[in-house]
Amino acid sequence: MLLAIQEATNSTNQEFPFFLYGKEIGNNQIEFTEFMSASNNRQTIEANFNQTMINNLQNRINGNLNNGLVVCHGHSHPPIGNFHQNFSLGDFTSFMQMNEENPVFKNRQVELTSCLVTSTGDINFIFYDNTNQNFYRFTNVMVKGKDNNYRPVNCYGLNQKEQLNTNSIRR
């Protein structure tokens, strides 16, 4: 699904916004099981969440406080400019804002992560820890195939087979 986003991004040169919903299934391990995007014909190339997406997020959060729900707000970068392989400064800022302005995320009743699909198909996840105001990268990302097997996905331009990291995200 996220690679379909990459294709659409590269063919339209637009950023696509999306949400992933999942659960923390172990220490620093998140499994995302749901994908949501409602992208309409937008005038800008910036990824903005429309009202349909915001309503969807609100519905998911309602009644899901403190039970391990993890929300990922993601977007893609088309191959334009110098920063399409990584989060832009604006991306970090809007991620922090989303965390600071929503008490549900700020008080960690629902965990918030962020994801970037790059023009080369890397899938980069970050987590912002508002206690010590630090960003963390997830460097082990797996996709669950139709055969229920997990296979690694490139992220941050890293070859995952060489990784020895404990952090892991599955989708």
Question: Would you say 91 or 122 has its CB closer to Zn ion?
Answer: 91
Binding range to Zn ion, per CB under 5 A, among 27-35, 90-98, 123-131, 149-157: 90-98
Q: Residue 107 Cβ, how far from Zn ion at the closest point, in Å?
A: 26
What span, in angstroms and rounded, lies between the C-alpha atoms of 27 and 52?
Answer: 32
- Residue facing Zn ion at closest CB distance: 91
Among 91, 122, 126, 139, binds Zn ion (CB under 5 A): 91
Residue from 64, 86, 88, 109 touching Zn ion (CB under 5 A): that is 88
Interface segment toward Zn ion; rule CB under 5 A; list 22-30, 33-41, 66-74, 89-97: 89-97
Give how many residues touch Zn ion by CB under 5 A: 2
Which of these ranges, 83-91, 95-103, 131-139, 154-162, lies near Zn ion under the rule CB under 5 A?
A: 83-91
CB of 116 to Zn ion, least distance (A): 6
The 3-class secondary structure across the chain, one letter per residue, is CHHHHHHHHHHHCCCCEEEEEEEEEECCEEEEEEEECCCCCCCCCCCCCCHHHHHHHHHHHCCCCCCCEEEEEEEECCCCCCCCCCCCHHHHHHHHHHHHHCHHHHCCCCEEEEEEECCCCCEEEEEEECCCCEEEEECCEEEECCCCCEEEECECCECHHHCCCCCEEEC
Q: How far is the CB of 124 from Zn ion (least distance, A)?
A: 11
- Report the interface residues with Zn ion, using CB under 5 A: 88, 91
